Amino acid sequence: MSFIKKPRIIHPESRPNSIGLSINDYEGAMSTLCAGCGHDSVSAGIMQAFFELDIAPHNVAKLSGIGCSSKTPTYFLRGAHGFNSVHGRMPSIATGANAANGELHYIGVSGDGDSLSIGLGQLCHAIRRNVNMLYVIENNGVYGLTKGQFSASADVGSTAKRGEANHLRPIDPILTAIDIGGSFVARGFSGDKDNLVPLIKAGIMHRGFALIDVISPCVTFNDHEGSTKSYLHTRQASHAAIYADYIPVRDEITAVLDKGANVVPLHDGGQVQFRQVDDKYDPTDRSKAAGYIRECQERSEIVTGLLYIDDDAPDLHMLSDTSETPLRDLEFKTLNPGAKALEEIQNAWS
């Protein structure tokens, strides 16, 4: 942990993106998390994704709840508007913010405590409403700030640092999201940035609620032998079901389609290319995807990749049929019916 003001160092070989910003423009304050924390890798992945997508930081709203993971919005995109809210309630803030103005990019960062215990209800309902946002769960199986209690994502039999085992069945955000109508469901690993960054990019560009569950080990409280959320265990037990990449519209012509790759077009004009490891896997088939993930889970395997996608599902604004102009930008004279209308309305009450 550090109170040092982060020095601004521009790497001589760093190149600007198409809007003239360098990767440094996507940084935030110095992280105060433990050295080696998986969350810092996720923050780095988020910076890289926004940089590569040429999105100006101030067009991004970054939101979080409470916990180690929820501190991270301070550590990336200092130029973005941020909202560090209360424990487990970030999804509702994001829902309202999105209702008021659908034109920003919304990213929520949460943890397994914030999302799967205190905030499980809000997470589920934001998924149901298909709020257009990227929602990253930095999942480490423990409560860090309060010194290592099990969270609701801890696997049965996984042991805490002091040795006691968890006996409660875990809540899997991936299966939950697929079950209740999630339109973009993915799992990544903070130790595998190559596969994580494309997922983040695809999640940002997806229209609707994009959930990425990122296994992000807690080096202080849950990285020991016996933990199923450690770096070692995750590396050994995880495998990708699918390799996915986001191809923006400008690169589509030049992008080389991977041999055997499939394509899902997105509503922004770009597309997601993906290649499944297992031929039987189909990330556009909700029940098959759920079945496959459950089978892997029963074999104690952690399956990663873009596990389910439906870019056609209507999002919050389509479901509410809201105006093209963001509600917050509508002029008062458009919103106010005026004195004459008030007179007419009251005729029914006289």
Dist CA 10 CA 15 (whole Å): 10
Cβ burial 248-282 (10 Å sphere, 16+ → b, else e): beeeeeeeeeeeebbebebeeebbbbbbbeeeebb
Q: Which of 38, 45, 67, 73 binds other proteins (CB under 8 A)?
A: 73
Task: Closer to other proteins by CB, 57 or 170: give it.
Answer: 57
Let me know: does 15 contact 45? Beta carbons within 8 Å. no
- Do residues 326 and 320 touch, judged by C-beta distance below 8 A? no
Rule CB under 8 A: choose which of 68, 93, 175, 205 binds other proteins: 93
From 31, 69, 95, 238, residue interacting with other proteins (rule: CB under 8 A): 95
Closest CA to 178 of 95, 294, 275: 294
Q: Write down the least CB distance from residue 332 to other proteins, Å.
A: 5
Q: In terms of CB distance, is 86 or 261 closer to other proteins?
A: 86
Among 10, 19, 35, 100, binds other proteins (CB under 8 A): 100
Total residues contacting other proteins by CB under 8 A comes to 60
Q: What x-and-dash track marks residues 166-205 binding other proteins by CB under 8 A?
A: ----------------------------------------
Query: Whose CA is closest to 81, among 53, 102, 104?
Result: 104
Q: Which of 194, 225, 279, 324 binds other proteins (CB under 8 A)?
A: 324
Burial, 346: exposed, middle or buried (Cβ in 10 Å; 0-12, 13-18, 19+)? exposed
The distance of Cα 219 from the centroid of its chain, to the nearest Å, equals: 21
Residues 19-58 binding other proteins (CB under 8 A) are 56-58
The residue (of 254 and 350) whose beta carbon lies closer to other proteins is 350
Residue 166: CB minimum distance to other proteins, A: 27
Question: In sequence order, what DSSP letters do the residues of 193-255 get, joined into one string?
Answer: HHHHHHHHHHHHHSSSEEEEEEE---TTTS-STT-TTSHHHHHHHEEESEEEEEE-GGGTTTP
CA distance 259 to 278: 14
Contact residue for other proteins among 17, 22, 34, 81 (CB under 8 A):
81
Q: Helix, strand or coil for residue 271?
A: strand
Asked if 327 touches other proteins (CB under 8 A), the answer is yes
User: One symbol per residue from 116 to 145: x for binding other proteins (CB under 8 A), - otherwise; what is it?
Assistant: -----xx-xx---x----------------
Q: Residue 332 class from Cβ within 10 Å (0-12 exposed, 13-18 middle, 19+ buried)?
A: exposed
Among 2, 14, 59, 149, binds other proteins (CB under 8 A): 59
Residue with Cβ nearer other proteins (251 or 344): 344
- Give residues in contact with other proteins (CB under 8 A): 56-59, 61, 73-74, 78-86, 89, 91-101, 103-104, 121-122, 124-125, 129, 316-317, 320-324, 327-330, 332, 334-339, 341-343, 345-346, 349-350
